[in-house]
Structure 1
Amino acid sequence: MTADESRRTGTGPEILRTALRRNAGAMSAGTVLLGMYQAGETAFPIALGLIVQHTMRDRSPGALALSVAALAVIITTVSFSWRFGMRVLQKAGTTEAHRWRVRVAGRGLQPVAADTGLKSGEVLTIATEDADQTADIVEVVPLLVSSLVAVLIAAVALALASPWLGLLVIAGTVAVLSALSVLSKRIGSGTREQQARVARAGAKVADLIAGLRPLHGFGGNHAAFRSYREVSGEARNQAVTVAGANAAYAGTALALNALLATAVTLLAGRLAFQGAITTGELVMAVGLAQFIMEPLKLFSEMPKYVMVARASAERMALVLAAPPVTVPGSGRPAADGGLEIDCVQYGSLRKLRFHVPAGEFVAIAAYRPGAAADLMALLSGDVPPGAYEGTVRVGGREAADLSIDALREHMLVNPSNGEVFAGTLRTNIDPAGGARLVAEAVEASMLADVVALHREGLDHAVRDRGANLSGGQRQRLCLARALAADAPLLVLHDPTTAVDAVTEQLIARNIAGLRGGRTTLVITSSPALLDAADRVLVLDDGVITAEDTHRNLLGADEDYRLAVAR
């Protein structure tokens, strides 16, 4: 999508206009073909009436054969125009849905998060269901136009037989659509609420899946499932409400269309009885009265689909038009600048100040998990600059002044709950396929035994979220990925909590060896990692209260010894 198109997708109607403008060619072709289909359908009862009229008058075999040939041409036109018209429109609609899915997914994956107020599960629903429903507008408009063509042809044909018949069709169509427009608005508002509730239920499912293991661990799964049942029940109730509105809409449309068709048939019968129209015109009128129900039904349903498409487009606009949480700068960090936290106050952090020089391996022993989490959120960029006081400097430059690409190249922040993706061990360690230290990272993270267990080695398949790996294996896989990236500045948070003490000791020693000469910060309570660090900073009550080597702190600080000794 061009930059100009990106600027024009700030609201739901703008998104719909973009979809229509981008598929104007396909929609024009589809409209012509579907118009031919509807015209052919309309021509069938008209031709049948003319055949009856001329056959009764001429009684000629040649005229009958010509009439049969004309009907065959009409049937062929109807069949092929519908088939090719829908093929063109469905291809355009599928392609358009793909474009919007990619745009929404790309927006969600941008380095700078958008201020949407939505959970990841809600964004997923918008990127799938809402994108598909928005793209339906590509099919809806040609169907709407072709149905209108059919109604107009029928009205003109009936008007030629009797102006009263044509006037009845036009007036009846306007009355039907006016009555249904009220219901379509109700469906649109109900659908928006339904989509929001379904998205919230999807977000709850995503949260449950991500936290299922710890939920089972402390027995919180039943409470979590009850919470999901409530959210899902709300979505179900709203879906029932919308289904009721849809049923009322469909029933009303069918009743009104049938009433109009009946009125046309009765008026045509009366006119024929009075001799105002011929027998052939009566046959044509009765046939058109039956036929007109289908395009009228289609025509009356289209406003509902337009409202649904608009509701979905407005939900997509929540993601696409959301401003970024922060506006990054354009600078680059110095290669030997290290990391500096200067008088930072955020969450439980109170005027926090420390410096990690380039090439040093520093560990932070945080007595309170909340302080570690706040520090990790700060370093990972989840906290916009305006939400905290103080300064974070990376490579000698303020983080707010750095471009996202430069910051990501220089500093890698690896959380304790890193994600594992469906694929292979290799693609999880080296997603981009360009890492130089894959083998070294596998050895350092003690993942070599997992690789050796499988004949495929690093090409062993990994299921979604690492479902076929143990907790320790998943943690070591995430650590291997962080080490393989070989970032100038690496921040790790509790990278060994799921492994045994012996493996933890080896990993700590390996990290120190592999990261020699590279800046490394580890936030941990692991004695092995604290001992491997050049120095340890004690984070207590939001500030650094002590600084020394692990062994010196063990001998001199009773609180430290009680906090980290195992």
Structure 2
Amino acid sequence: MTTPDAQGSRRPGSDILRTAIRRNRGAMAWGTVLMGLYQAGETAFPIALGLIVEHTLRERSAGSLALAIGSLAVIITTVSLSWRFGMRILQKANTTEAHRWRVKVAACGLQPVARDVDLKSGEVLTIATEDADSTADIVEVVPMLISSMVAVLIAAVALGLADLRLGLLVIAGTVAILSVLSVLSKKIGSSTKEQQARVARAGAKVADLITGLRPLHGFGGNHAAFLSYRKVSTEARQQAVTVAKVNGAYAGTALALNAVLAASVTLTAGWLAFDGQIGIGELVMAVGLAQFIMEPLRLFSDMPKYVMMARASAERMALVLSAPPVAAPGTARPEPGTDLEVDCVRYGSLQGVKFQVPAGEFTAIAAYQPRSAADLASILAVNVPSDGYEGAVRLGGQELAELSVEAVREHVLVNPYDGEIFAGTLRSNIDPSGSSRMVPEAVEASMLTDVVALHREGLDYEVRDRGANLSGGQRQRLSLARALAADTEVLVLHDPTTAVDAVTEQLVARNIAELRRGRTTVVITSSPALLDAADRVLVLDEGVVAAEGTHRELLATDEAYCLAVTR
């Protein structure tokens, strides 16, 4: 959901559909031509049969029969080839367009600038897959709709040439069928939109539960979590049943109306033939067209349903694609080797934090309140827009609001205490881009060498989703190795060693100080080992910097500091 301001600027799903059509107009034009040729050939088959019967009854010659058979062969070949190549073009365009939207939604989901959209990651995943595919179906639906209309019009004209009443019956029946089905298609669109939203919520709930599975086990919340998921899943199931009922009613109504029209054409043609107003060949043509017309009519009547489903999916994609950013980033870029300054920042529990980290210094921040540490990390990670807090954060004298987010990301890396571990290998987790030259050094500095040596595959050892086959300490060290391998100008680490033993922590602290020598490093921690390895320690208490000095100086002069960090 978006706020009223966001809703006012958000483009509707129809704009997304128009974009998809505009991008694929060439493929859709060729697809329409070929599928129209296919439908025309299908329609021509019963017409040709009627003409053959009429002509054969008059001339009764082998040459005429051979010519008729050759004509039917041409029609069949045309139908086969036009369908084959038409569907190939349309399905290629469909899958390509779906890929484009998936990538676009994924890019927006990864956008570091905060967006005013209340969608969880599980919902964004559903939008990036199912909704993207459904939206791209418009590329295939429109040509099929036009080609089906061509078939109906050809059939109406052919029957009208035999007898005007037959042609008018087809046209009037088609209009009546579409009028009835348009009402049901609107119901399908609204029901489908609600179903997609509920399925997405269920997916988001699963993602949340998987993320919090270990804590749930810890305090016995499994049953409550199961009931919570069961509730949202039941809602999704009930809505899916509703959609299935509407779809069933739509399909049944369309089939019944199409059958009534075909039967009406057949009976009318039979009556006209019995009355002598049309010939035997025209009767054969009319009966054949009455049977054939059910297929294009079915396609023609199904298309509004698919259009409404595509529109419903496009509306959901618009929630992600068109939501305005909370704050527009700047365009400047920081100079290399610059310092980091936090100037009187007020946000959450922070009550005017002010400090400066010179370029190349290793600074540790001992936050007595965990909330203050989390709020400071969020500010430095640009997870909070510049107008969301008071004060300023500067990089080389330039405020972050003046810098492009991409430039900030290149110069500053904030590694959270709960860094995500991805399915893949140790190597792909440490160096996702495959471009780092610091992988061996990062592995050694983070003390991940024992994990690498434990498996004969080494860095190519397969890691399961969320690091399920690694211990908590191994996951934390893997996340730290990834941060160190990035080798950024400014590195901010938030509690990087809380899950490792004291001996390993000592080694990691010493290794970080050595590896990051000459590079600006900030560690938000209460670890004595990291605090001792730092060039300077800032004490963050009650949202302000209450003291500073080296770890040993503070131990000797600040009793509160001793109580807070001594283990």
Query: Quick check: TM above 0.5?
Result: yes
Q: CA deviation at 1:487?
A: 2.0
Residues 386-465 of structure 1: pairs in structure 2 closer than 5 A: 386-465=387-466
Q: CA deviation at 1:379?
A: 0.9
Q: CA deviation at 1:426?
A: 2.3
Q: Distance in 2 between matches of 1:35 and 1:223?
A: 57
Q: Which position in structure 2 is the counterpart of 1:260? A: 261
Q: Which position in structure 2 is the counterpart of 1:208? A: 209
Q: Is contact 2:539–2:545 with CA below 8 Å preserved after alignment?
A: yes
Q: CA deviation at 1:44?
A: 1.6
Q: Is contact 1:425–1:461 with CA below 8 Å preserved after alignment?
A: yes
SS in 2 for 1:234: helix
Q: Distance in 1 between matches of 2:279 and 2:392?
A: 91
Task: Map Cα deviations across residues 124-176 of structure 1 (whole Å, 9 max, x no partner).
Answer: 21111111111111111111111111111111111111111111110010010
Task: Map Cα deviations across residues 476-533 of structure 1 (whole Å, 9 max, x no partner).
Answer: 1111121122222211111011111111111112112222232221111222212222
Moved more, 147-156 or 360-369: 360-369
Q: Is contact 2:10–2:323 with CA below 8 Å preserved after alignment?
A: no
Residues 203-282 of structure 1: pairs in structure 2 closer than 5 A: 203-282=204-283
Residues 518-557 of structure 1: pairs in structure 2 closer than 5 A: 518-557=519-558
User: Match of 2:191, as an amino acid?
Assistant: G
Change in CA separation of 1:9 and 1:137 when aligned onto 2, cut-off 3 Å: farther
Q: CA deviation at 1:67?
A: 2.2
Q: Distance in 1 between matches of 2:514 and 2:130?
A: 49
Q: Is contact 1:9–1:15 with CA below 8 Å preserved after alignment?
A: no
Q: Which position in structure 1 is the counterpart of 2:22? A: 21
Moved more, 274-283 or 54-63: 54-63
Residues 47-446 of structure 1: pairs in structure 2 closer than 5 A: 47-335=48-336, 337-446=338-447
Change in CA separation of 1:335 and 1:82 when aligned onto 2, cut-off 3 Å: closer
Q: Distance in 2 between matches of 1:375 and 1:9?
A: 32
User: Match of 1:297, as an amino acid?
Assistant: R
Task: Map Cα deviations across residues 358-394 of structure 1 (whole Å, 9 max, x no partner).
Answer: 3322222222222211111111111001111111122
Return the TM-score normalized by structure 2.
0.94
Which sections of structure 2, spanning at least 5 residues, go unmatched? 1-8
Q: Is contact 2:342–2:355 with CA below 8 Å preserved after alignment?
A: yes
Q: Is contact 1:130–1:312 with CA below 8 Å preserved after alignment?
A: yes
Q: Distance in 2 between matches of 1:512 and 1:416?
A: 18
Moved more, 254-263 or 74-83: 74-83
SS in 2 for 1:492: strand
Q: CA deviation at 1:431?
A: 2.5
SS in 1 for 2:447: coil
Q: Distance in 1 between matches of 2:227 and 2:370?
A: 28
Q: Is contact 1:348–1:542 with CA below 8 Å preserved after alignment?
A: yes
Return the TM-score normalized by structure 1.
0.94
Moved more, 418-427 or 109-118: 109-118
Runs of 4+ in structure 1 off by over 6 angstroms are: none
Q: Distance in 1 between matches of 2:488 and 2:145?
A: 57
User: Match of 1:193, as an amino acid?
Assistant: E
Task: Map Cα deviations across residues 335-359 of structure 1 (whole Å, 9 max, x no partner).
Answer: 4542222221111111222222333
Change in CA separation of 1:84 and 1:330 when aligned onto 2, cut-off 3 Å: closer
Q: Distance in 1 between matches of 2:345 and 2:11?
A: 36
Residues 501-520 of structure 1: pairs in structure 2 closer than 5 A: 501-520=502-521
Change in CA separation of 1:355 and 1:220 when aligned onto 2, cut-off 3 Å: farther
Task: Map Cα deviations across residues 408-442 of structure 1 (whole Å, 9 max, x no partner).
Answer: 22221110011222332222222233333322221
Q: Is contact 1:108–1:114 with CA below 8 Å preserved after alignment?
A: no
| Percent pairwise identity | 76
Q: Is contact 1:334–1:396 with CA below 8 Å preserved after alignment?
A: no
Q: Distance in 2 between matches of 1:456 and 1:233?
A: 44
Q: Distance in 2 between matches of 1:434 and 1:81?
A: 47
Q: CA deviation at 1:556?
A: 4.1
User: Match of 2:264, as an amino acid?
Assistant: A
User: Match of 1:77, as an amino acid?
Assistant: T
SS in 2 for 1:282: helix
User: Match of 2:410, as an amino acid?
Assistant: E
Q: Distance in 2 between matches of 1:9 and 1:66?
A: 61
User: Match of 1:561, as an amino acid?
Assistant: C
Q: Which position in structure 1 is the counterpart of 2:46? A: 45
User: Match of 1:346, as an amino acid?
Assistant: Y
Q: Distance in 1 between matches of 2:365 and 2:306?
A: 57
Q: CA deviation at 1:62?
A: 2.9
Task: Map Cα deviations across residues 7-53 of structure 1 (whole Å, 9 max, x no partner).
Answer: x9943222212221222222122112211211121122222222222
Q: Is contact 2:112–2:382 with CA below 8 Å preserved after alignment?
A: no
Moved more, 283-292 or 426-435: 426-435
Q: Which position in structure 1 is the counterpart of 2:36? A: 35
Q: Distance in 1 between matches of 2:225 and 2:375?
A: 25
User: Match of 1:194, as an amino acid?
Assistant: Q
Q: Distance in 1 between matches of 2:174 and 2:106?
A: 42
Q: Is contact 1:419–1:465 with CA below 8 Å preserved after alignment?
A: yes
